[in-house]
Amino acid sequence: MNAQTTSNAAVYSEKDADGVVTIWLDDPEASANTMNQRYIDAMGDVVDQLEKDIEARAVKGVVVASKKKTFFAGGDLVGIQKIRADQAHEAFDMVEKVKSQLRRLETCGVPVASAINGAALGGGLEITLATHYRVAVDDRSVKLGLPEVTLGLLPGGGGVTRTVRMFGLQSALMDWLLQGQQRDPKRALEKGLIHAVVATKDELLPAARAWVLENADDPEAAKQPWDREKFRLPGGAPSSPKLAAVLPSFPANLRKQLKGADYPAPRAIMSAAVEGAGVDLDTASRIESRYFATLVAGKNSKDMIQAFFFDMQALGAGSLRPKGVERSKAKKVGVLGAGMMGAGIAYACASRGVDVVLKDVSAENAQKGKDYSKKILDNKVSRSQMTQEAADEVLARITPTTDAADLKGCDVIVEAVFEDPELKAKVFAEAEQQVDEKTLLCSNTSTLPITGLAKGVTRPKDFIGLHFFSPVDKMKLVEIIVGEETSDETLARAIDLVQQIGKLPIVVNDSRGFFTSRVFGTYVLEGPAMLEEGIDPMSIDRAGTSAGFPTGPLALLDEVTLSLPRHIAEETKKAAAAEGAEVPEPAGLDVLATMLDEHDRPGRAAGKGFYDYADGKRGKLWPQLRETYTKSDVTTPYSDLQDRYRFAMAIDAARCFEEGVITSTAAANIGSIFGIGFPANTGGVARFIETYEGGMKGFVARANELADAYGERFRPSQWLTERANAGKGLVE
Ligand code: NAI
């Protein structure tokens, strides 16, 4: 090999005896390659050198390859977070530079192949899109896609411009850009994103080299489709009658998909794609850079990057795991109660290779719990997401039983029987007789304080709350609740288990409703509170979804049943009374009482709630609702309705920080988005509080405004006010 450029640069090239240049991506100062300044500088040198060599006719072709485990991680998110609102120009210049290098590579005159050995997402995929041939290893770790939209960004390294030219406007938007889909190599091949897959890493470079050498003398192979003479945009240009006819529906559909919530990135992606489709590649590319720069300098991308990249990374890396405890791995888990949650937990464990004993009171119930897994697995097999053999293996790991003796040998017990402290104590007593002293004892209670439940077991230090969300197979979050006596080792082992089964743990301290269930209640109750004020029910739910919540509060109450918040409020009141305390009556309960007691409309399961239902499907709002409650002279600003939802949750979340129920902003952000539907476009509830316009002080001011207008529940506490005034955040 013949070194071409400095081999300790983030990008360097080597030329072999056949005249094939390999461009290596290998940032010397990081474990993954990103589009940082080191990349930009080094790539510039590599392309300069390459052009010189090609001019001297010393190059047959080029292979772009990576020395890292992932091919290339994408944009430099640490750098992006530092770009200020007034620096859109700098961002534009930076991305234009990245793109001009890739454009020069793409038009260098010899065939260029990329050898994709690991994940190529975002910027990583964009590098390969500027090459003429893409071959990837067919490995589970390899994912291909443009997920920028999930971070509030757009693929500004040519991703929008090139996918539009590869797939046509509509397919590029639907299949790659607007949802940031990630695909494995086989699916990417089927979709036409890449040209070939190889079975092993050893075959990768030879395959890329072979293509380059085979095509070395073919000038057409060294051209992208869009640089060929007769190129036509697949599916037609925006001005073609066929596309022009459907184009106006694009923004309307997007709005519908986002339920009116404010997400700047998909809007910008759509604009860049449509505007770029009608012009030449260089102009399209510049349009793309402009939209990119605006997003990068804006607040939304910062919020989403913080939550979906940095907070997720912190939680994944075990930032909340006590130090000094050895990692543990569960082999056999006993699940008590094979109802909706127990069945889901059993599936989650079995699908990650853990044996499960699934116990219920009758053989029929236990079997029904196991059948739940069968249904999910059958579905996966029928969609070719899994082989029958693999599915059978997962199913065989679940042993349904009524016999507590089968729990012998379990290293973890997860209890998911009815929400009744006495019953929970009873099933734990039964289980404890069968297992040894090291077995972790977990309860999936959704509201009952863990310290109280711990009184029902003989080893409270080994007892912990493991709050899964429904449906367990879809919901990634698990809220781990530490009781007063829970030991550090127990917490560490609980985190290990949650991660072992592929879920996302957040850790909170004990309190009624913990963090998620408690904060969730404040959102749903705001709906009936507004109804009582005379606000139109349609506006009530629309304001929720347009604020970024997945479902409006009235529709959501129908899902969880109207009696649930009432029951929780009663239990909370009783518990407070037992301690000689008093809790204020939550707003909105009167409406729930009337709906339940006078109109017998408990929710979706009964076919009637705030909405009417036919065959389980939500229909129209119950007509009498408007007649009963709506007042035509109420003119509450829509933005107040939206803020009331966000602030109702945020004020209670702040109280959770104040009370020490939650201590990590990352946990609060991720818990609020993944567990209880807090708008993802804010970056999570802690981020919302801390980075509100004007900072936390601005948040406190707005909360006071809402409290003056709509009730004391919005009043920020003295603790929060003092911290805001002192310029402090939610945690030290
Ligand atoms: P469920 O009613 O679907 O299932 C409870 C199961 O426990 C039933 O199959 C019942 O036969 C079984 N059971 C009762 N006594 C038993 C005993 N002595 N031994 C073994 N099994 C027994 O209830 P679900 O919804 O699964 O809830 C279970 C727990 O999970 C509750 O504590 C609930 O608060 C909590 N939870 C529920 C969530 C939800 O969305 N439904 C979310 C998170 C937690």
Q: Which tens digits make up the pLDDT trace of 103-115?
A: 999 999 999 999 9
In a domain, 309, yes or no: no
Q: Residue 71 has which token pair?
A: 């091919």
Per-residue three-class SS string for 360-406: CCCHHHHHHHHHHHHHHHHHHHHCCCCCHHHHHHHHHCEEEECCHHH
Ligand 1 contact, 360 CB (< 6 A): yes
How far is 731 from 649, CA to CA, in rounded Å? 18
**Collapsed DSSP state (helix, strand, coil) of residue 650:** helix
Select from 82, 261, 84, 318 the least CA-distant residue to 673. Answer: 261
Phi and psi of 723, rounded to 5°?
-65, -40
Residue 498 shares a structural domain with residue 578: no
Atom of ligand 1 nearest to the CA of 369: 9
Task: Report pLDDT for 430.
Answer: 96
Residue 506 shares a structural domain with residue 524: no
Ligand 1 contact, 444 CB (< 6 A): yes
**Collapsed DSSP state (helix, strand, coil) of residue 569:** helix
Which CB contacts under 8 angstroms, 24+ apart, belong to 6-12? Answer: 6/42, 6/45, 9/38, 9/41, 9/42, 9/45, 9/46, 10/36, 10/38, 10/39, 10/41, 10/42, 10/43, 11/39, 11/42, 11/43, 11/45, 11/46, 12/42, 12/46
Per DSSP, 715 falls in state: P
Return the CATH number at 131. 3.90.226.10
Select from 353, 387, 391 the least CA-distant residue to 373. Answer: 391
The residue whose two tokens read 């200020």 is: 84
Residue 61 shares a structural domain with residue 122: yes
Average pLDDT over residues 523-532: 96
User: In which band, very low, low, confident or very high, does the pLDDT at 732 lie, cut at 50, 70 and 90?
Assistant: confident
- Which of 488, 510, 532 finishes a domain? 510
Among 339-348, 547-556, 572-581, 628-637, the minimum mean pLDDT is found in: 572-581
Domain that holds residue 474: 332-510
How many structural domains comprise the chain?
3
Residue 277 shares a structural domain with residue 368: no
Residue 446 shares a structural domain with residue 483: yes
Q: Residue 39 has which token pair?
A: 């990349």
Residue 119 shares a structural domain with residue 61: yes
How far is 396 from 350, CA to CA, in rounded Å? 9
Number of neighbours of residue 383 by Cβ within 10 angstroms: 8
Report the percent of the chain where pLDDT is more than 70.
Answer: 99
Cite the beta strand spans of 483-638 per DSSP E: 504-509, 611-614, 617-621
Average pLDDT over residues 378-390: 94
Residue 474 shares a structural domain with residue 537: no
Ligand 1 contact, 424 CB (< 6 A): no
Return the CATH number at 375. 3.40.50.720
Residue 431 shares a structural domain with residue 563: no
Ligand 1 contact, 430 CB (< 6 A): no
For 281, the enclosing helix (H) or strand (E) is helix 281-297
In a domain, 327, yes or no: no
- The reply to whether the predicted model has a pTM over 0.85 is yes
CA of 338 to the centre of ligand 1 (A): 7
Does the pLDDT at position 67 exceed 90? yes
In a domain, 166, yes or no: yes
pLDDT digits (tens, 9 = 90+) for 599-640: 999 999 999 999 999 998 999 999 999 999 999 999 899 999
In a domain, 732, yes or no: no
- Which of 297, 321, 344 finishes a domain? 297
In a domain, 563, yes or no: yes
For 359, the enclosing helix (H) or strand (E) is strand 355-359
pLDDT digits (tens, 9 = 90+) for 444-493: 998 899 999 999 999 999 999 999 999 999 999 999 999 999 999 999 99
- CA atoms within 13 A of residue 277's CA, in its CB half-sphere: 28
Return the CATH number at 714. 1.10.1040.50
Q: Determine the residue of 335, 362, 406, 418 to mutate for testing ligand 1's pocket, defined as the one with the most ligand atoms within 8 A of the Cβ atom.
A: 418
135 CB-near residues (< 8 Å, 6+ apart): 113, 114, 115, 116, 194, 195, 196, 197, 198, 204, 207, 208, 211
- Which of 483, 510, 537 finishes a domain? 510
Task: Report pLDDT for 3.
Answer: 60
Task: Report pLDDT for 616.
Answer: 87
Residue 710 shares a structural domain with residue 643: yes
Beta bridge partners of 63: 22, 113
Does the pLDDT at position 1 exceed 90? no
In a domain, 392, yes or no: yes
In a domain, 321, yes or no: no
* Helix, strand, coil in percent for the chain, rounding step 5: 55, 15, 35
Residue 468 shares a structural domain with residue 522: no
Q: Determine the residue of 335, 336, 340 to mutate for testing ligand 1's pocket, defined as the one with the most ligand atoms within 8 A of the Cβ atom.
A: 340
Per DSSP, 306 falls in state: I
Residue 477 shares a structural domain with residue 523: no
CA of 265 to the centre of ligand 1 (A): 41
In a domain, 325, yes or no: no
pLDDT digits (tens, 9 = 90+) for 413-430: 999 999 999 999 999 999
**Collapsed DSSP state (helix, strand, coil) of residue 619:** strand
Task: Report pLDDT for 147.
Answer: 97
Residue 49 shares a structural domain with residue 137: yes
Cis peptide before 528 (omega within 30 of 0): no
